[in-house]
Chains A and B, each alone.
Chain A
Amino acid sequence: MSHQYNFAYLDEQSKKMIRRTMLKAIAIPGFQVPFGGREMPLPYGWGTGGIQLTAAILGKEDTLKVIDQGSDDTVNAISIKKFFKTTADIEVTESTENATIIQTRHRIPETPLKKGQIMVFQVPIPEPLQFIEPRRRETAKMHAYQEYGAMYVKLYEDIATYGRIATAFDYPVQVNQRYIMSPSPIPKYDNPKLNQSPAIHFFGAGREKRIYAVPPFTDVKSLDFEDYSFELESWNEPCSICGSTTSFLDEIITDDEGTRLFICSDTEYCQKRSQGGE
């Protein structure tokens, strides 16, 4: 099948341009580098930015894992794996440990990442300041001059209204003491995993045509205040399948009476634990 496409779908010149952008993104952690995003054979919102990054990184020896909200088995994850199996004939896996590249929509796996692994995040809205200032020209200036006061005002308004910072996902971070960055809509529970991570993290926004990155061993700080510090969500009960008390749990409604249970969002981690006696 693969001979019908160029390796990993994109043509070589497109990959070259994306690769140059990726190197600049690594050199300026957290800065959104514009790139000539290509048309991909799927609609915006389904991971076109992430797919272009993966296509530019991927080699014959790579093993790819794709997750969607922590699950290896959703339509988006399966379709993207199938796409790269068809166009690049590479190995795919569900194991976080065995993957060299992990493309993800909205989660970071529970299994700790290793040096050499590359995370690729699908990003719907790369600009963390967009809801404060919709004009691109203005947000570019705010990043240039580190004019980040408005972002703190937004967090403060949360505290004034709800008594706490109510943002639960896409929680803004500051990278390498410089740029404020959207970590993509991962739950804030995953934010600490970005800080001083041994893996390389790439973020690709296909519609907005930007790429940004966090290199390994880089400071990533979730924004907060001295008297209202960044807090992680917690659950009162363990995962009903594997019993984990340390992973991010999804709430599942099981019948019309409102019976609910909590299970791990990371399906591979949960399966490994319930089968393998941890």
Chain B
Amino acid sequence: MLQGFQSETNDSQSVFRKLLTAMASPGSIEKIDLDIDCPGNLHSASGGILLTLLDFETPFWTDLDDSSKEIQWIQFHTSTPVKNSATNSLFALCTHYDELEDPNLFNPGTLSSPDLSTTLLIQTRGIDNNGKIRLTGPGIQTEAYLRLKGIKEVFLKRRARMVENYPQGIDMIFICENRFVCVPRTTILEVF
């Protein structure tokens, strides 16, 4: 079994602060500077974020095989209960970005408890700020632009329509290697 964090206290704190910054400024790309060796197809930012947030209280769904070494690693380090339904998950990880079409498969919470909703991690082929997805909303001073390589347009268009359901919604973290960017439910997306 590969090691997780070198220091649970310091590493999880530094990942959390990056996450907090990213979630508070959608579209700004953050980098995890930890030497973390994740198994298989798991990007190091995914590994770092999952180790920082998951524990026995967080139903988790992923498109990886049940017996994969990635899941074994995540469960070994976090004890998270792995579920086979995306709708019931508080955290979810998508690795097959090219098959991902519908953000409505996940849990948007309820009107009175919108916090009981899925935080969705999506691994991509690349992220940068030169794209044609325009972001506005809380946390963004004027506007931000994003390119999410490999993410289908139909997925983004469906996500764009989800702001009508606010405060229900899915908070997303797009990941490539050790870099990530957050798109919380409040962010208004326009795809050109």
**Chain A residues engaging chain B, CB cutoff 8 angstroms:** 6-7, 12-13, 15-17, 19-29, 31, 33-34, 56-60, 116, 118, 140-141, 143-145, 176, 178-179, 198, 200, 215-219
Quick check: is B103 within 8 A (CB to CB) of the other chain?
no
Beyond A34-B115, A59-B17, A217-B139, list 12 extra A-B contacts (CB 8 Å).
A16-B53, A17-B57, A20-B58, A21-B115, A24-B119, A27-B23, A27-B185, A28-B186, A56-B16, A116-B21, A178-B167, A215-B186
Question: Which of chain A's residues has its CB closest to B15's CB?
Answer: A19
Given contacts A57-B17, A59-B10, A23 and B114 within 8 Å (CB-CB): no
The chain B residues found within 8 Å of chain A, CB to CB, are 8-10, 12-14, 16-17, 19-21, 23-25, 52-55, 57-58, 110-112, 114-115, 117, 119, 138-141, 166-167, 169, 171, 184-186
Q: A16-B52, A217-B138 are in contact. Are A26 and B20 (CB under 8 A)?
A: yes
- B17, A28: Cβ atoms closer than 8 Å: no
Q: Assess the B112–A143 pair: CB atoms within 8 A.
A: yes
Q: Which residues of B have CB within 8 Å of A20?
A: 53, 58
Quick one: closest A residue to B183, CB to CB? Answer: A27
- CB–CB B138/A176 < 8 A: yes
CB-nearest residue of chain A relative to B9? A7
User: How far, in Å, is A184 (CB) from chain B's closest CB?
Assistant: 19
**How far apart sit A12 and B19, CA to CA, in the bound complex (Å)?**
17
Residues of B within 8 A of A143 (CB): 112
Chain B residue at minimal CB-CB distance from A219: B138
Asked if B139 and A28 sit within 8 Å, CB to CB, the answer is no
Nearest chain B residue, comparing its CB with the CB of A140: B112
Contact check, A12 vs B115: say whether CB atoms are below 8 A apart. Answer: no
